């Protein structure tokens, strides 16, 4: 007797060590069935067998399932606000500023922060930028720092020339200079199941909440708030909102920015 999708989710969550129930289940099903069509898999049992026994397929499944696209300075007005109203205050109030981008996707957002801080003249020794994602393939790509036109479309021309080189392959790709790449540390992390490090001054979690169930969103918001220092900021995506932020000891300060109360 063949298994249904719910049993597949239960078993796949164990195999992958990833709580698939934390994501909107219709999205999980769409992504799973897309992978199955791509590989000619007819049943959930076949899919589970490949997840158990084929490491390359597991990576492909996760790559198909997770968020792996973003762009530099996405929603530029938010980065303008960060530059003009938040960054200097963080450096005035803290001996060393800790910044975490999670999930970091292709690395464009943590690298955007590194460019912003470099442009403002802050020394590398004065801050830490950590970028995490569950997908090892996208982390490997992020470390390389090579991007297409779409990813760099919001970067002002002078900054593009200053911090990127044109890749020497047959496609027009932009290679981030080592001066910026070295300022970001990447690591694999599952936001839903793993504990968080404490004492962050800025946490960037953009366009991830939209894929999660309400319960998981609430749990993550609590975890992020607990990980921030008093006065630290949580930076979300443009379409993401925290209802009743006071429940999490947060207050909305601008568009997608929430500040932890002192």
* pLDDT at residue 2 tops 80: no
Q: How many helices (H) and strands (E) does the chain have?
A: 11, 10
Query: With 0-12 CB in 10 A as exposed, 13-18 as middle and 19+ as buried, what is 58?
Result: middle
Q: Do 16 and 132 fall into the same domain?
A: no
Using DSSP, state whether 10 is helix, strand or coil: helix
Residue 71 placed within a domain: no
49 and 100 share a domain? no
Average pLDDT of the residues in 84-100: 97
Q: Domain check: are 81 and 189 in the same one? A: yes
Domain extent, residue 29, equals: 5-65
152 and 235 in one domain? Answer: yes
Structure tokens at 251: 């207050």
Residues 35, 132, single domain; the answer is no
- Please report the pLDDT score of residue 67 as a whole number: 59
Over the chain, what is the mean pLDDT? 91
Q: pLDDT tens across 59-69, in order?
A: 778 776 665 66
Q: Domain containing 221 — which CATH number?
A: 3.40.50.150
Same domain assignment for residues 121 and 178: yes
pLDDT in tens, 182-236: 999 999 999 988 999 999 999 999 988 888 888 989 999 999 999 999 999 999 9
pTM above 0.85, yes or no: no
Give me the pLDDT at residue 68, please: 60
Same domain, 57 and 85: no
The residue length of the chain stands at: 262
Q: Does residue 101 share a domain with residue 145?
A: yes
Nearest to 103 by CA among 60, 76, 68, 74: 68
126 occurs within a structural domain: yes
Does any domain span residue 250?
A: yes
């Amino acid at each position: 007797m063949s298994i249904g999708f719910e049993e597949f989710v239960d078993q796949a969550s164990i195999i992958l060590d990833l709580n698939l129930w934390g994501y909107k289940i219709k999205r999980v099903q769409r992504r799973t069935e897309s992978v199955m069509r791509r590989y000619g898999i007819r049943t959930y049992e076949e899919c589970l067998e490949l997840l158990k026994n084929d490491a390359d397929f597991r990576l492909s499944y996760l790559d198909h399932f997770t968020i792996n696209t973003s762009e530099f300075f996405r929603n530029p007005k938010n980065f303008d606000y960060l530059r003009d109203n938040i960054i200097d205050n963080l450096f005035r109030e803290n001996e060393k500023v800790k910044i975490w981008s999670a999930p970091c996707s292709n690395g464009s957002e943590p690298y955007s922060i590194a460019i912003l801080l470099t442009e403002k003249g802050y020394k590398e020794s004065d801050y830490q930028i950590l970028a995490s994602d569950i997908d090892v393939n996208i982390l490997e790509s992020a470390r390389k720092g090579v991007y297409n036109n779409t990813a760099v479309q919001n970067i002002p021309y002078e900054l593009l020339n200053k911090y990127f080189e044109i890749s020497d392959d047959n496609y027009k790709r932009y290679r981030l200079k080592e001066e910026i790449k070295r300022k970001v540390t990447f690591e694999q992390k599952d936001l839903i199941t793993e504990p968080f490090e404490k004492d962050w001054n800025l946490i960037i979690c953009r366009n991830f909440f939209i894929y999660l169930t309400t319960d998981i969103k609430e749990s993550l918001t609590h975890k992020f708030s607990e990980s921030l220092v008093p006065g630290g900021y949580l930076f979300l995506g443009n379409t993401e909102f925290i209802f009743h932020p006071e429940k999490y000891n947060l207050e909305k300060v601008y568009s997608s920015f929430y500040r932890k109360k002192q």
